[in-house]
Amino acid sequence: MMLILLMGIIIIMISIVVMMIASILSKKAITDREKCSPFECGFDPKSSSRLPFSLQFFLIAIIFLIFDVEIALILPIIVIINYSNMITWLLTSMIFIIILVIGLYHEWNQGALNWSN
């Protein structure tokens, strides 16, 4: 028990040290207007360099990432069917799939899956 506690403390201390070193090294020492501008050639830009970003594209990308992670969570369920209790496996997988279907229905109902907007 003491070994686990000691290992936990060591891991937390190493994590804190690495985060502190990363935050110290990531600071920019000199903030120059030309260095912060999107064009570093020395000319002032004639118009904004920021293009408008499509919110619909962003929502579709987030939905894709969410369902991609869900597929990665569903695949091991198929592998462990031989090693687990059938009732527990069925209950767990059905609850997970029901949550996914409810989330998909909610996104569909809110109009997040409409491509023609």
**DSSP secondary structure string, 66-104?**
HHHHHHHHHHHHHHGGGTS-HHHHHHHHHHHHHHHHHHH
User: What amino acid occupies position 16?
Assistant: I
Instruction: Specify the pLDDT at position 19.
Output: 92
Instruction: Specify the pLDDT at position 5.
Output: 92
pLDDT tens per residue across all 117 residues of the chain: 889 999 999 999 999 999 999 888 877 656 666 666 665 565 665 666 666 777 777 777 888 888 888 888 888 888 888 888 999 999 999 999 999 899 889 888 988 777 765
Instruction: Specify the pLDDT at position 12.
Output: 96
Gap between the Cα atoms of 44 and 57, Å rounded: 30
